[in-house]
Structure 1
């Protein structure tokens, strides 16, 4: 894979200890990129057990790891449900680095409270998923693209979608609808930005061993009277056994594809949505 030396990448949703955002940050840093990483300042109750306490400090911990590769990594907390904070995020990265070459829209709403039949889905929860999973991506592109266009050097935008972008499931109306919408946004933005040599693609992971808190998983663990870590371990084993390639997807699997799409090796790939799932979904 070609070097990203001299490139500046902005990655949202990068604070999870086992998350796709962290894996992507470390991969891009290893390839030579300078980074700006962001996440929402979550309360302890919204963190998985292994991220609670002082041992893990979210994007600050990720930045410390990324800097070991010898490149700059700045951290910016941002509430992606607020347009003004997304605009300020883009402006701050431009102020610090002078440019954005690569935009990785990776953040997503926490799954769980949405996992009800559509007629029971709270309207506020529906809007929350729209805000984080779709509107925030639109706004990040809206505010970053003019800077990319003005520089005239092209650019790369990669959106983290899901297998739920291609296959609906019961009790997943909010999540799946926003992820389906994300593929539409990816294709439209790809055509809008193609004249400026800015590519826009999506990655569509299946079940990933991220350990990011899911309210649904916490509720199931509570119902079974077992720790969340125990339930998660059982779930990872079950999903791995059901996967044609014999294991669950890891964050690094997704990060490797994001890195390729972010590189100069992918100049003629745009508007695409690539699965990373071990063979559980083909289209």
Structure 2
């Protein structure tokens, strides 16, 4: 008989960066709802002119569409426009979650800076671009974790934080200095927080996805990605956002109660040692 994941029914989860139609954040939010969570989803408040052609054709409405999906599953959901790298915005988000849901049990730090001028040699990397990537990927994870960990510890009921890092933080590839540094730092932050927050019953883990079929891949030709996949991934395919989401849901469940401080690769076997 298969093991059923438990411990999430009636819990409250917050998932950042969950507004894109083809994204890891959306899938994590929906799969947590499917497992029994009420979910708060955040996004940057993209205007329709910033939607992909795929999203426009589908009538997508960013985080509001994700909320609709969750409510269809019978769970409560709220959409909040928030800047995870702004302390006041994070504190306002926390206050809204506490007022509406009474507290939070699961935090998924998924928000990440979009590729925009950062995939260049470090000697050509503009300092403002470096700061933008670190601001969202690292500062945002820190601010969200600090605020929500305080709230979890204050309730005395424990909790779970899942940080979405990347195998890029372990590979440290050329022309990815800002991204790789930010994601490696998230892994280090995960380890430190797990040690500090463990006595309060708060588990902290990171997931490190490899090549995943999200809209973030759309700015590269499909044949380029296919060549990369065939040359580097033993399973010979990109992952789906839902496969990353399943790992996140497991880490939030009772079945992962003894797992903390880890940075797990979800990458089709690309990194088999680290």
- Which TM-score tier does this pair reach, normalised by the shorter chain? over 0.9
Q: What are the ranges of 5 or more consecutive residues in structure 1 without an aligned counterpart?
A: 221-230
Q: Choose from 83, 90, 98 the match for 2:94.
A: 90
CA displacement 1:112-147 (0-9 Å, x = unmatched): 410111121111111111110000111001111111
What secondary structure sits across from 2:208 in the alignment? strand
> Equivalences for 1:95-244 in 2 at 5 Å?
95-212=99-216, 217=219, 231=221, 233-242=222-231, 243-244=233-234
**Equivalence for 1:271:** 261
Deviation at 1:152, TM superposition (A): 1.0
The alpha-carbon distance between structure 1 residues 42 and 235, as it changes in their structure 2 partners (threshold 3 A), is: farther
Query: Does the residue aligned with 1:56 lie in a helix, a strand or coil?
Result: coil
For 1:81 and 1:193, the matched residues in 2 are separated by 21
2: CA distance between counterparts of 1:259 and 1:239?
28
Superposition map of 1:52-71 within 5 A:
52=56, 55-71=59-75
Aligned length: 268
Structure-2 residue corresponding to 1:223: none
2:45 is aligned with 1:41: yes
In structure 2, the gaps of 5 or more residues are none
- TM-score normalised per structure 2: 0.93
2:237 and 2:228 map into 1 onto residues whose CA distance is 7
Match of 1:248 among 238, 245, 248: 238
Indicate conservation of the 8 Å contact 1:46/1:213, yes or no.
no
CA RMSD, Structure 1 to Structure 2 (Å): 1.6
Normalised by the size of structure 1, how large is the TM-score? 0.90
Supply the distance in 2 between the matched residues of 1:90 and 1:107 (Cα, whole angstroms).
Answer: 16
Shift of 1:236: 4.9
The one of 74, 82, 85 aligned to 1:81: 85
* Aligned 8 A contact 2:46 2:62 in 1: no
Deviations 1:221-276 (A, max 9, x none): xxxxxxxxxx3x43454344342112111101100000000111111111100000
Cα distance in 1 for partners of 2:148, 2:197 equals: 12
Greater shift, 240-249 or 187-196, is seen at 240-249
Matching residue of 2:34: 30
